[in-house]
Amino acid sequence: MERTPEESHRLAPYVAILKNKLEVEAIDDTRIMKVSFEHTDPALAQAVVNTAAKNFRDRNYERKTDRFKDTSGWLDRSTRELKSKVQQAEQAMADYTQRNGIFTSEGKETLIVEKLTNLYNLAMRAETERMLKQSLFEGGPARPDRAIARSLFRH
């Protein structure tokens, strides 16, 4: 959220109080954060801690979902490119089989062409899944993203 210089100046004393009294501590070997705020009014202290935790969680979730959206856009582009390559490869294979008489008299593909097509399709699928898994692994997605990622692999 962008603020004007005037607004930043007006909020500076409150930000200073938060910086001095709000403490955030990571608990070793966990993903837990201890957040505390000291104030004479317990309700205000609780509200500050809860708001800080909620803002952190919301920003973290937004950052991760943005990363997922970027990955999803990349996957869409990659899928279109791969489909185009598959179509080109299929056309090249059809041209090759026609030039070299690999069709039977009924016009059906032989076993070799069928195996090559299946192998190519399996290789393209494996490569696409590898790229997706790698991008999700490198991005360290949050649990909601993992559910989305798992749904992509359902057949």
Question: Whole-structure pTM over 0.75, yes or no?
Answer: no
3-state secondary structure of 26: strand
Domain boundaries defined on the chain = 5-62, 63-152
Q: Are 9 and 27 in contact (CB under 8 A)?
A: no
Contacts of 26 (CB under 8 A, 6+ apart): 32, 33, 34
Contacts of 75 (CB under 8 A, 6+ apart): 128, 131, 132, 135
pLDDT value at residue 97: 77
Q: Are 29 and 37 in contact (CB under 8 A)?
A: no
At which residue do the structure tokens 């089989």 appear? 97
pLDDT tens track of the chain, all 155 residues? Answer: 688 999 999 999 988 988 889 999 999 999 898 999 999 999 999 999 999 999 999 998 888 888 878 888 888 888 888 888 888 888 888 888 778 877 654 555 566 777 778 888 888 888 888 888 877 777 654 444 555 455 545 54
93: exposed, middle or buried (Cβ count in 10 Å: 0-12, 13-18, 19+): middle
30 CB neighbour count, 10 Å cutoff: 7
Q: Are 22 and 48 in contact (CB under 8 A)?
A: yes
3: exposed, middle or buried (Cβ count in 10 Å: 0-12, 13-18, 19+): exposed
pLDDT value at residue 109: 57
